Amino acid sequence: MSLRFGTDGVRGRAFDELTTEFAEHLGTAAAEVLGAGRWIVGHDPRASSPVLAAAVAAGLVAGGATVQSAGMLPTPAVAAIGAALDVPTAMITASHNPWYDNGIKLFAAGGRKLRDDVEERIEALLHGRSPGPAAATTDVPGVPSIESFDGRSVYLDRLLGGFPDDCLRGLRIVVDCANGAFSDLAPDALGALGAEVVVVHAEPDGRNINDHCGATHPEHLAEQVVIHQATLGLAFDGDGDRVIAVDHLGRIVDGDRLIAMAALHLKDHGRLTGNAVVVTVMSNLGFHRAMEAAGIEVVTTAVGDRYVLEALDARGLAVGGEQSGHIIYRQSATTGDGLLAGLHLAQFVAEHHEPLATVAERVMTTYPQVLVNVRVAGRHPAVAEELATEIAEAESGLGDSGRVLLRPSGTEPLIRVMVEAQTAALARSVADDLAAVVLDRFGHQPTTDR
C-alpha cells in the first residue's frame, strides 16, 4: 500500500489512491495498535466520506473493536469526543483539499493525534499485510451494522460550557462554513452565545466543500462582512480545525495575528502559563518580534498542530498554533478548533469594545513573505541540510531583517521555499533564486505560490 501518514493523517484521491480496501485495512491496523475497545467514527460532507467511514468502521470491527458512528462532524468535535469519553476516534476528511480528495485522521484515546512512532507501528502492519493492488471501488462488502452516536451534543456542551451566557450579544458575525462539517454547528454555537449570525457557504452537497470559500478563500467572506456591516467574520476550512478572521473593514486577519492576540489576552488576564506561546516554523518574523516586545517567549516546532500540542503539553502552556489558522487552546482542546478560537476572538472583541481592525493592526507588523512550492522527483526530508550552504548565503544577505526556510511537504513531493524580508521585492528575489537551486538540484517545475 503506497499511502503513508503525512503531517496530518493519510490523504489521497478518493477511490483511486485512498481506496475502500486501504481504509478497511487501516481500520484493522488501528484497532490492533490503539486498542480494540470502543471507537467513534465521524466524517465531513464529501461525497466519498460516508463510504470511506463505513470501510474504516468495517476494518475496526474486524480488528475486534466496537464502533459507533457520529455522522457528519468537524474534526475538533471528533477529537473532543475522544477526550470526553477517553476512547480512540477516526475522522474521514481531507481538510482544506478539494472534494475529490479524502483522508483519514486517527486520534488516540483522549483525543490526541498520533505520535510518529505510533504511526510507524500502524504503517508496519499495513505494509506487512501486502493485500495486493486495491480496486478503485465504492463498494464495502460485509460492513457491519454500526450504532449511531450523538456527538453533536457532546461537543456543543463541552464547547459552550467554557463561555459566559450571552457573551457575544451585540455582535453581528458573518460565518463562512466552507460548505463543510461546521455548516450546522457553527451558526448554532454563535447564536447560542447571543451573536447575530449571518451564514454563508453552509449548504454542503458533497462536491462544494472548500470550493472558493472558507479559510483558504476568505475573499467572499470579506465582501459579506462589509455588505452586512458586521463586527467581524470567521471562515473555517472543510473539517473545521482552522479559522481565519476578517475585520469590519473586510481585511483578513491570519493565524499569526490571532495567536498573537490570544497570547496577549491571556497574559493580560494572568492565564498565559509559562509566559510562552507555541508556533511552527512558518510563523512570520513579525510575530516573533511582537512577542519579544511583549516579553513573551516563543517556542517553535515543526509544521503540524500535533507538534504544537506536544510542545504545549511538555511545558504546560496555554495556547499555540499555526499561521494557517490552526489554534489550540490547551485547557479546552487537544487539536486545532476553528470554532473555539473564533469564539474566543469574538469574546475578546465584545469585552474590549474595540474594533478587531484596531487590535489586529496594533498587535504586530507582518514582514513580507513569499512561498514557492517546487515539485521534485522524490522526497527529500533532509533538504535543509542538503542545501545548507545556499541557505546560509541567502540568510547572510537578509541579515536580522529576514529569514529563510526550506522544508519538504508532508503530503506531496514538494519542496517549500519560504523567504521573509523587509520588502516584498527582496523576499521574491531571494525565494526565486533558491527555488531555481532546488529545481536544478532535484528537478521539475515550481508550482503556483500558496
Tell me the DSSP string of 405-437: EEEE-SSSSEEEEEEE-SSHHHHHHHHHHHHHH
With CA atoms as reference, report the closest residue to 249 among 218, 217, 225: 225
The 10 Å CB-count burial string (b at 16+, else e) for 51-69 is bbbbbbbbbbbbbebebbb
How many whole angstroms separate alpha carbon 116 and alpha carbon 372?
A: 27
DSSP conformation letters of 226-256 = HHTT-SEEEEE-TTSS-EEEE-TTS-EE-HH
The stretches of 146-229 forming alpha helices (DSSP H) are 151-160, 185-192, 219-227
Is 95 considered catalytic here? yes
Amino acid at residue number 229: Q
> What pLDDT does residue 154 have?
94
Cα torsion 231, 187, 7, 386 to 10°: value is: -20
Number of helical H runs and strand E runs in the chain: 15, 19
pLDDT the model gives residue 401: 86
pLDDT of residue 337: 97
Q: Give long-range contacts, CB 8 A cutoff, 24+ apart: 302-306.
A: 303/7, 303/407, 303/410, 304/7, 304/8, 304/280, 304/410, 305/8, 305/113, 305/241, 305/335, 305/336, 306/8, 306/112, 306/113, 306/114, 306/115, 306/335
C-alpha triplet 158, 163, 169: angle, nearest 5°: 130
What is the Cα–Cα distance from 360 to 231, expressed in whole angstroms?
A: 13
Q: Is-contact 238 325, C-beta < 8 A?
A: no
Q: Which residue numbers in the chain have pLDDT < 50?
A: 1, 130-136, 450
* Pairwise CA distance, residues 49 & 27, whole Å: 15
Distance CA 292, CA 432 (A): 30
SS (H, E, C) 176-195: ECCCCCCCCHHHHHHHHCCC
Overall pTM > 0.85 = yes
C-alpha cell at 233: 467574520
Residues paired with residue 102 on neighbouring β-strands, in sequence order: 12
Give the whole-angstrom CA distance, residue 79 versus residue 333: 8
Domains in the chain: ranges and CATH: 10-151 (3.40.120.10), 167-249 (3.40.120.10), 253-363 (3.40.120.10), 369-442 (3.30.310.50)
Rounded to whole angstroms, the Cα distance separating 82 from 107 reads 7
125 neighbors 26 (Cβ within 8 angstroms): no
In the chain, the amino acid numbered 382 is: A
**Annotated catalytic residue: which of 95, 283, 324, 332?**
95
- pLDDT number for residue 142: 56
pLDDT value, residue 133: 39
- According to DSSP, residue 359 is labeled H
The residue written with cell numbers 474594533 in the block is 355
Calculate helix-pair angle for 116-129, 20-34, nearest 10 degrees: 130
CA 258 to chain centre: 14
